[in-house]
Amino acid sequence: MTATVIYQGDLRCECTHLQSGSIIETDAPTDNRGKGERFSPTDTVCVALATCVITTMGIRAQDMGISLKGTKIEVTKHMKSEPRRIGQIDVILNLPGQHISEHDKSLLEKIGHACPVARSLHPELTMNIQFIWQE
């Protein structure tokens, strides 16, 4: 088992990662009867995509002797209705690009696009992943 989830009532869940014991809470968003005081379940999907992209890139970057530390990622979720679902996720990665060759940047971007979360999401979902290498 990976995690446990306890429904707290009032559209809030407490999720516990069993290996580490770390806890996250979710709330329904304000536009769907929630308080919006925590990440919504759909927010966590979008953040999962962003963190998976940088994590898979970071694994390969470590093997290449490249540090991606300090990368800032902006995530924007676009919802659709009927049925209510995520229609588009925009992920903008602002990466440190000093002393990284164009070849290595291209390789890391390809790895980011192929992360496990991206491969797991529905094919109708639009994923706009943009890499901005800071010089």
pLDDT tens-digit profile of 47-88? 999 999 999 999 999 999 999 999 999 999 999 998 999 999
9 and 56 in a single domain? The answer is no
For the segment 98-118, the average pLDDT, to the nearest whole number, is 96
Number of domain units in the chain: 2
Place of tokens 């968003």: 29
Question: 119 lies in which domain range?
Answer: 41-134
Query: 108 pLDDT band (50/70/90 cuts)?
Result: very high
Q: What is the pLDDT of residues 2-45, one digit of tens each?
A: 999 999 999 999 999 999 999 999 999 999 999 999 999 999 99
Q: Residue 123: how many CB atoms within 10 A of its CB?
A: 5
Q: Residue 121: how many CB atoms within 10 A of its CB?
A: 16
pLDDT of 107 strictly over 90: yes
pLDDT attached to residue 106: 97
17 and 66 in a single domain? The answer is no
pLDDT attached to residue 98: 84
The region that residue 12 occupies, defined by phi over 0 for left and psi between -120 and 50 for alpha, beta otherwise, is beta
23 and 70 in a single domain? The answer is no
pLDDT attached to residue 135: 83
Distance CA 115, CA 54 (A): 9
23 and 87 in a single domain? The answer is no
CATH no. for residue 129? 3.30.300.20
